[in-house]
Amino acid sequence: MHRGTLFCFLITLLCIPLNSEDTKVYVHNTCDDWGFFAHRKLNELAVYTIPAPLNTFYKSHLEEVRERAVDPDKRRYAIKGEAVRHYIDLDHWGENAVNDLPRQQERAIWRTAIFYWIQKGDTTLVFDTTQNCIFTECERDFTQAFSTQFLTLQKGISEKSAYAWLRDVAMREHDEFEWHISADKTAEWLGTKLGNEGYLHIDDRFSKHGIIPYFFPQHYRRLVRAFEEKNISKIVRLSADLGHYIGDAHVPLHTTKNYNGQLTGQDGIHAFWESRIPELFADEEFDYVVGRASYIQSPEEFIWSVVKKSHQGVDSVLSIEKRLSQTLPQDQLYCYESRLGAVVKLPCKEYARLYHQSLDRQVEERFRECILAIGSVWYSAWTDAGQPILNESPHDKKQDEDEMKALTDKQKNQIRVHE
């Protein structure tokens, strides 16, 4: 199963091959997010980074924001298209993908797609972008291919118009598996006539490798709108959601196709890094004081900078665990613990500590940066919505209005670009 599972926590506790000879089986090997503990903790701690007067709102909804932090994982297999929002396999797209990939989702999809025309049961390949001009300009080839298929087109297909069509028309019907565009809509775009029986099938070769940096800004704008509408339940739900996606974006293994060490014989490393270590050490040892949330100028640039930094950590996450697991005695790697009446196999606490320290406390660093990032995203969405006053009793409202007035112009100008 790709990337996590609906009830990863339960499976974590119950489905352990206790007599396994396979020394690389970790207890968490089916769970692929920070884990319920960490996602909840990140959202909770983010609340304390919010400046007044918005902090009053988040504190009064703290419980819900924390509990709903895991909602996106719960719906991964219930909602089509949800799973790919949690990661991006940057290395699938080449060594320099973080810089090369188009920042607009429709461009990324367009340049890696294959187009088929399907009519009366016959499938004809119209154009395979991946074979021709991936990440390069390809207007001429594309127009030629479509002209061959649909007789002579009245006009060339410029990439600019193609992007606009994809964004405004085709993306409305986007489906990772069955992406079909009617003959009418295709004909309108191409400026030609097509029989009504056929349809254009777009094979989306991009999305299955993850879309977290493309999805995040869209969801951010939903939160801004919710603030503008002063829709309390929506604000809470979307804030919790965004906290989750930001959390995932901070995990190095959410940016690589070797997301669970499965390509290097390190199956289970995902949960070792992001669940086992926080569960063991976060409350006791992590420094939770991270400072004040600040305004993020560009959610797009922000999320790309987050995944870029996460991706830079992939090598050490994998190579250090590899070295430790090969040098330590095998019986010091895994321990059995009793939880909720079941015996489970886990990386031993001392092994986890050694890994944590050998990584130079990378997990803690990403955790801390993530807390501040979540708070900053919530605060920025509220700011972009015009800093509305929310959901307060008349008494609280008056207090908040006074606090708002107390925000001097100087303070407002202190809003700075998030790094």
Instruction: Give the footprint of Zn ion on this chain (CB under 5 A).
Output: 33, 73, 86, 248
Supply angle C-alpha 197, 203, 207, rounded to 5.
140
Cβ–Cβ under 8 Å, residues 247 and 88: no
Nearer to Zn ion, 86 or 237 (CB): 86
**86 vs 276 by CB, closer to Zn ion:** 86
Asked whether the CA dihedral 401, 403, 406, 407 is positive or negative, the reply is: negative
Q: For Zn ion, give the closer residue by CB, 81 or 291.
A: 81
| Closest approach of Zn ion to the CB of residue 86, in Å | 4
Q: Which residue, 92, 83, 74, is CA-closest to 2?
A: 83
Nearer CB in complex with Zn ion: 8/344:
8
Compute the least distance from the CB of residue 70 to Zn ion, in Å: 8
Task: Name 124's Cβ contacts closer than 8 Å, sequence gap at least 6.
Answer: 116, 117, 118, 149
Minimum distance between the CB of residue 38 and Zn ion, rounded to whole angstroms?
11
Minimum distance from residue 270 beta carbon to Zn ion (Å): 11
The secondary structure of 282-313 as a DSSP string is HHHH-----------S-HHHHHHHHHHHHHHT
Helix or strand (DSSP H, E) at 345: strand 342-347
> Which of 33, 384 has the CB closer to Zn ion?
33
Indicate the DSSP class of residue 4.
Answer: -
- Local structure of 124: helix, strand or coil: strand
**Minimum CB–partner distance for residue 245 and Zn ion (Å):** 7
Between 248 and 274, whose beta carbon lies closer to Zn ion?
248
Specify the length of the chain in residues.
Answer: 419
Min dist CB 73 to Zn ion, Å, is 5
Closest to Zn ion by CB, 185 vs 219, is: 219
Question: Any idea which residue has 């804030």 for tokens?
Answer: 239
Q: Residue 4 CB, nearest distance to Zn ion (Å)?
A: 7
**Least distance between Zn ion and beta carbon 44 (Å):** 17
Name the residue whose CB lies closest to Zn ion.
86
How far is residue 255's CA from residue 300's CA, in Å, rounded to a whole number?
16
Nearer to Zn ion (CB atom), residue 198 or residue 243 = 243
What string of DSSP letters covers 197-247?
T-EEEEE--SGGG--HHHHHHHHHHHHHHHHHHT-HHHHHHHHHHHHHHHH
